[in-house]
Amino acid sequence: MKLRPLNDRLIVKALPKEEVTKSGIILPDTVDKERPEQGEVIAIGPGKLLEDGKRSAMDVKVGDKVIFKKYAPDEVKIENEEYLVISEYDVLAVLENN
């Protein structure tokens, strides 16, 4: 099954978040189960429909790693995979490699 987002929505796969303590112990993301704030975009909608009938261009693309508002995404589960559906408005930044 394939997800196709509508308007200015994105489908995002949450990135695993491992934390390292000062002593070097790695804490996997399952320790505190906080809501994700980072993810990889796997699908984008066509853009927001403007009053003149045109679509605004999306600022993100498939494959981008993004940071978004903590409580913005809606969680969906399709075929035992968890995805996040989020509006482009709630994306705070795109992570870029230098």
> Which domain, by its residues, includes 89?
9-95
What mean pLDDT, rounded, does the chain reach? 84
**What pLDDT is attached to residue 70?**
84
Is 1 part of a structural domain of the chain?
no
Mean pLDDT of 59-88: 91
Is 39 part of a structural domain of the chain?
yes
Count of domains for the chain: 1
**What pLDDT is attached to residue 16?**
73
Task: State yes or no: pLDDT of 31 exceeds 50.
Answer: no
Mean pLDDT of 4-10: 92
Residues 6+ positions from 46 with CB-CB distance below 8 Å: 6, 7, 55, 58
Tell me the pLDDT band of 87, cut-offs 50, 70 and 90: very high
Is 29 part of a structural domain of the chain?
yes
For residue 44, what is the domain's CATH number?
A: 2.30.33.40
Is 80 part of a structural domain of the chain?
yes
Is 4 part of a structural domain of the chain?
no
Tell me the pLDDT band of 72, cut-offs 50, 70 and 90: confident
The structure's pTM equals 0.76
Mean pLDDT of 44-71: 92
CB under 8 A, 24+ apart: contacts of 51-59 = 56/8, 58/8, 58/88, 59/88, 59/91, 59/94
CB 95 within 8 A of CB 68: no
Residue written as token pair 């705070």: 92
